[in-house]
Chain A
Amino acid sequence: MLSAIAARRRGSGLGFAMPAILLLLAFFVVPVAALLTRSVTEPEPGLQNYVTLLGNSTYARIFFNTFFVSAVVTLITVLIAFPVAWALAIMPRRWAGVIFAIILLSMWTNLLARTYAWMVLLQQTGLINRSLMALGLIDAPLQLTNNLVGVTIGMVYIMLPFMILPLMGVIKKIDPAILQAAALCGATKAQALWRVLVPLAAPGIASGALMVFVMSLGYYVTPSLLGGTANMMLAELIAQQVQSLLNWGMGGAAAFVLLVVTLGLYAVQLRFFEPGEGR
């Protein structure tokens, strides 16, 4: 009987993915491949773009910045989003509704406008520094922009909803009975949290973190306005090469390296967290 079900379910095979695959093949793979090919044909055929890119300490640093900033942002986003999503999943509905509305509101306002607002708020002469000084908490203004602090605040702000929403859905679906069972077996709250709730929420954390991390890799407007040039991200360098210097070969090479490294990391993640395809 079960095999009969499996047979009837076979419909959800590759065919279901076809519309998305065809769309991406026609309007993503072919055009992007054409552009990335230029990395070995422009300005002249050869690998010199890659040689320049990989042999230069500045680019190495920018690569490092990109992954480092993305990792910091992802980590902090997870640390804030998990308790919030957890609370939202179990709070009285009225309060959850209010918080949820605030999350949606924050996303609705234009990204550049939000980033500018943060820039002005975080400046040395900005509202936050002046309030802290008026309260007597600090004597001199804190440096909150043009450094890692600024990028992190600005990016976490943008990324939080992308982590909270999927995570909330996953936690909502966890059967409370499992946690009751843990309590019956004598687990403390901390044990139940670490050994039961977090593992059960792991798929949500993983998909949210993946989204946040990868999204962060390609961002540059917020890092460039709040992080200063010392935290320059690869996407900014690529935008420079493509839009200002019209050096599509170099831009393509940098994008290709970013793609390869990211997919490599993803493969590693799949291997460690989801062993075996035929689960």
Chain B
Amino acid sequence: MKTKLVALATAAVFAAQGALAQDMVFTSWGGTTQDAQMAHWAAPFTEKGGPAVVADGPTDYGKIKAMVEAGAVSWDVVDAEYDWALQAGKAGLLEPLDFTVIDKTKLDPRFVSDFAVGSFYYSFVLGWNPANFTGDQPATLADLFDTAKFPGKRTFYKWSAPGVIEAALLADGVAPDALYPLDLDRAFAKLDTIKADIIWWEGGAQSQQLLASGEAPIGFFWNGRLAALAADGMPVGISWDQNITAADALVVPKGAANKEAAMKFIAEATSAEGQAAFAATTGYAPINLGSADLMDPAVRATLPDAQTAVQVNADMAYWAEHRDEIGNRWYAWQAQ
């Protein structure tokens, strides 16, 4: 009896391992974003003969580091922040991407690097609730920092990431081409002028709640979040003036079990079709240059794609280099 049980258990373990060896694991942040990624990237990938894709998550950098250190990596493709991806690539946590499988000629060069390609990109934009401002409506980043002209709480992304520091410098009059290297002293001095009026948002959903309820009538948001509010019938003001781009990246942790399948998956995810379908569902912009032609012009108009003329690109390489230093100062400043 006992040996039978052991045999059964062993068989079960092997069966599980067999399944793991075949299936590919894709990790992202969960919620509707990951659902869309599964629907528009994973499903076609499997249909075209690729292995089944299992969704895991949420993305956790600590987990990736521990996996790589232990040499037991269970995630094959991970959706991560782009600046983190560049830094992690340098730190040896990621596999170099195989560009014989992934066709980088079709991809937006802003979001291609040795260890990471864009998953999608988005812009930080000025948004406001028109119900709270009767006269002039905000238009520029300077207005975002002008509490005399536009009084009330303003909401900003809480975590140390490309976006808010750039906005402070631009609002202070720094020219877009002179942003880098970032003058942190100047940025924090500018942020200090409105610090008492800042409410931080920790996740996209919270930013929407703050704006919709009027708790923070003005703020700096991910464009897709404002588009979703508008699509739901909420009155929302959006100014694309000096919208600041940031991106998520697709990466393969070092030592991933299904490296080959992972590269093919990324090729599928960054294809013109995959990117177009995902962008239409989520309001994020595609990083494949061919996607625009596949999309409904009405949808395209709401994406950062259509706003490149007034766009400022956050320098991901600079961020990757200085991520720790900026992060430490950022959190210290917040806590003061």
Contact = CB atoms under 8 A, between A and B. Distances in A.
Contacts of A237: 331, 335
A205 to B, nearest CB: 32
Contact of A243 (B61, B200, B328): B61
B336 A61 contact: yes
A146 B65 contact: no
A225 interface: yes
A240 B327 contact: yes
Q: Is the interface of A mostly helix, strand, loop or mixed?
A: helix
B335 A230 contact: yes
Nearest to A236: B331
B215 A245 contact: no
Contacts of A62: 335
B228 to A, nearest CB: 18
Contacts of A65: 335
Interface in B301-336: 323-324, 327-328, 331-332, 334-336
Contact of B213 (A58, A123, A243): A123
Given A61-B336, A120-B209, A225-B202, A245 B327 contact: yes
Nearest to B153: A124
Nearest to B200: A229
Contacts of B214: 125
B199 interface: yes
Nearest to B213: A125
Interface in B190-235: 199-200, 202, 209, 213-215
B60 interface: yes
Centre residue among A56, A59, A124 by max chain B CB count within 10 A:
A124
Given A120-B209, A229-B334, A244 B215 contact: no
- Between B84, B153, B213, B331, the greatest number of chain A beta carbons within 10 A of the residue's beta carbon is seen for B331
B334 A232 contact: yes
Interface string A131-159: 00000000000000010000000000000
Interface in A225-276: 225, 228-230, 232, 237, 240, 242-248
A48 interface: no
A242 B327 CA distance: 12
A92 to B, nearest CB: 42
Contact of B324 (A225, A229, A245, A248): A245
Given A229-B158, A246-B61, A247-B324, 6 more contacts: A65-B335, A228-B199, A229-B335, A244-B61, A245-B328, A248-B65
18 contacts: A58-B332, A61-B336, A62-B335, A120-B209, A123-B215, A124-B153, A126-B213, A146-B199, A228-B200, A229-B334, A230-B335, A237-B331, A243-B62, A244-B61, A244-B327, A245-B327, A246-B62, A246-B65
Shortest 7 CB-CB distances between A and B: which pairs? A229-B334, A58-B332, A232-B335, A243-B62, A123-B215, A125-B214, A125-B213
